[in-house]
Amino acid sequence: MKGLLVGALVFMSTLSCAYADIMIDVRNDTSEDCSLAINARTDKTKWVTQGWYVFASGEEAPIILKGINDIHNVYIYNDCKKSEIDPKIEVKKAWVKTNYKFMDETPREKEQGYEEVVFERLSSDKYQIQN
């Protein structure tokens, strides 16, 4: 009976880890309103892209990502970044809806109303929007 109880506890612990949430503190350090989208892995094979989170100039607020258990698997894109991407930062391409809030688990190549953009890997739980 003792072995069964330990097995049940390990299983419950594994389940709780799979559904963890991540909180990212975002601050807009630009002089304009900026929007950002997030691309994150939800499990070993599935990715979800969601946006647009709109931040006014100077605004600071958290974003909570449900069901994402590893910040290393989160990529961010913001529409205010006009400078070159730092070559030291890992990037990936993903599709975003161009005009309103969305959440997609399916790539949207060549579909009207979508565009492919370059996301940067998030390196900490804090993200600053800068030009």
Residue 10 lies in a domain: no
Cβ(117)–Cβ(96) below 8 Å: yes
Residue 79 lies in a domain: yes
Range of the domain at 92: 21-129
Question: Per-residue pLDDT tens for 21-35?
Answer: 899 999 999 999 999
This prediction's pTM: 0.75
Residue 3 lies in a domain: no
Question: Per-residue pLDDT tens for 67-110?
Answer: 888 889 999 999 997 767 788 889 999 988 887 777 777 777 77
**Mean pLDDT (whole number) for 62-68:** 91
Question: Per-residue pLDDT tens for 30-53?
Answer: 999 999 999 999 888 889 999 999
Residue 46 lies in a domain: yes
Number of domains, the chain: 1
Cβ(53)–Cβ(40) below 8 Å: no
